[in-house]
Structure formats: structure tokens, C-alpha cells
Amino acid sequence: MHINDEPAIDIWYANISTHLKIVSDLETVLSEYEINRADRFRFERHRIQFVVARATLRHILSSYLSVPPKRVEFQYAHLGKPLLDPKHKSTLKFNISHTNELVAIAISLGRDVGIDIESLDHLCDYDGIATQCFTKQESEILQSVPKNIRNLAFFNAWTRKEAFLKACGLGLSRSMDTVPVTLLPGAPACLLGDDHERWSICELSPPLEHVGALVVAGSMPHVKVFHW
């Protein structure tokens, strides 16, 4: 697989559960640094999720770079965002997100990109988290949404904010309540405030009852979806 010169973003999804029987094989392509990170997880299920996600990333990037997965090398930005090592002499940029069941990877040519996915089955204190992480207006909108779709509205907001912060390479060093977004189910995904002038966002439709968002520098190009 090789990304061409047309302005496009490739989105890859991988179902973690379908790779559980080959975790030991997938682990062989990881670097020593990645294995050490995996071994620091307290629970085995989290370790497996990390291994599958990073091995999937390596396999997918290897198809673009035409090198074996083991030879894909990374550098890390000051806040930990992984980047391709300059030795690859590639303008590819990428971002990865994973939940209990699903891995999502965004690949772009020369544009900063961020992706985030969350499972709609995940249970949490939506209203309490919104009070801390959302703007006052977003919290009020969330309260007005019918309870049967409130979790969807919450994760619409959460994934859009997270995808933006990941695209910028800021992580949680910038407070989520400084990234206003739309969240009503059925309404277009939008960045509000000044950020929309330099970044574009779109809603994703991941499999397995997940919600997701993609943010890219500049205008939103064509998005192509693949499964690994």
C-alpha cells in the first residue's frame, strides 16, 4: 500500500479480538522500548491491547514505507507523540487511537493529523466529567440531550477534543475546555473558536459500536477507510 500524491487521509481499523491468538508473533516486531512499555501495564489485557495496537501500526506503516515492520523506527515529540524517524526520508504523518476492542490509525501525506475513538459501551460519569472538561455551554447542551443518546453526545465532544489535541501534539497539556466543539448527534462535527481557521474535523463511523473523530491541518481531504 502506498499513499499517492492526491490529498487524502487513509484510516485503518483493526479488531483487537481477532489478533489475540497471534499476540506473541506480533510482539516480535516491537522495539525494546515498546516491549518495556508493554511490560509496565498492571493488567494483562492492557498489555495485550498495547502490543496489538503498536504491532498493527508497524505493519501498516511498513506497507507505505516498503520496509519490514521491525525496521520502522520512531522518534517521540517532547510530549510523547510518536513520529517517523527522519532516516525514513518520508513525509508520512500518522496518529493512533485504541480502545478495548478496536485500533484506529490515520495516515496522511505531510499534514499533521489526530484521531480518537471511544466505545459507546464505556460507562462513566458523563455529567461529572463534562463539568471538568467541557465548556459551560457544552455541559448545558449535554444536559439537554435525551438520556438515551447522552453517551453519544458526550463521546462526540470527547473524541473531537481529543483528536484535535493529538493533531497538535499537545495531549492533555492543553485543557479540553479550551477546545469548543459541536456535540449534538446528527449535527455536523465542527471545531468552534479560532481553531477552525487552521484545522478541519470530521466525524468517523468506526465499527463495533464506537464513535470517532479525525482532525487534520488545513482543509479536510478525501478520507479512505481500510481494515487490517
| 92-98/102-109 β-pairing | antiparallel
Domain around 155: 116-227
| Mean of pLDDT over the chain | 92
Is residue 67 scored above 60 in pLDDT? yes
Asked, for residue 4, whether it belongs to a domain, the answer is: no
Asked, for residue 3, whether it belongs to a domain, the answer is: no
Q: 78 or 109: which carries more pLDDT confidence?
A: 109
Q: Are residues 214 and 123 in the same domain?
A: yes
Helix, strand, coil share of the chain (percent; to 5): 45, 25, 30
Q: Are residues 56 and 86 in the same domain?
A: yes
Q: Are residues 102 and 201 in the same domain?
A: no
Confidence of residue 4 (pLDDT cuts 50, 70, 90): low
Q: Say which CATH number the domain at 15 has.
A: 3.90.470.20
Measured CA to CA, the distance from residue 94 to residue 73 in angstroms comes to: 13
Asked, for residue 55, whether it belongs to a domain, the answer is: yes
Classify residue 137 by its DSSP letter: H
Task: Work out how many domains the chain is built from and give that number.
Answer: 2
Chain segment 175-188, per-residue pLDDT in tens? 999 999 999 999 99
Chain segment 159-173, per-residue pLDDT in tens? 999 999 999 988 767
Q: Are residues 18 and 96 in the same domain?
A: yes
Boundary (domain end) residue, out of 110, 141, 169: 110
Measured CA to CA, the distance from residue 70 to residue 91 in angstroms comes to: 20
Which of 93-102, 151-160, 166-175 shows the lowest per-residue confidence on average (mean pLDDT)? 166-175
Confidence of residue 8 (pLDDT cuts 50, 70, 90): confident
Boundary (domain end) residue, out of 50, 80, 110: 110
Please give the average per-residue pLDDT across 52-62, as a whole number: 97
Q: Are residues 80 and 125 in the same domain?
A: no
Beta-carbon contacts of residue 85 (< 8 Å; ≥ 6 apart) = 73, 74, 75
Is residue 5 scored above 70 in pLDDT? no
CA proximity to 26, closest of 49, 1, 3: 49
Q: Are residues 181 and 159 in the same domain?
A: yes
Q: Are residues 168 and 97 in the same domain?
A: no
Asked, for residue 102, whether it belongs to a domain, the answer is: yes
Amino acid letter at 66? S
Half-sphere exposure of 190 (CA within 13 A, CB side): 10
Which of 22-36, 40-54, 160-174, 207-221 shows the lowest per-residue confidence on average (mean pLDDT)? 160-174
Classify residue 12 by its DSSP letter: E
Residue 154 burial (10 A CB sphere; 0-12, 13-18, 19+): buried
Which of 4-13, 38-47, 65-74, 171-180 shows the lowest per-residue confidence on average (mean pLDDT)? 4-13
Note the pLDDT of residue 1.
Answer: 43
Supply φ then ψ for residue 58, to 5 degrees: -65, -45
Asked, for residue 218, whether it belongs to a domain, the answer is: yes
Long-range CB contacts (within 8 A, 24+) of 91-96: 92/3, 92/61, 92/64, 92/65, 94/57, 94/61, 95/166, 95/167, 96/53, 96/57
Query: Is residue 115 within 8 Å of 95, Cβ to Cβ?
Result: yes
Q: Are residues 32 and 92 in the same domain?
A: yes
CA dihedral 199→203→207→211, nearest 10 degrees, is 100
Boundary (domain end) residue, out of 110, 131, 149: 110
pTM for this prediction: 0.94
Note the pLDDT of residue 193.
Answer: 84
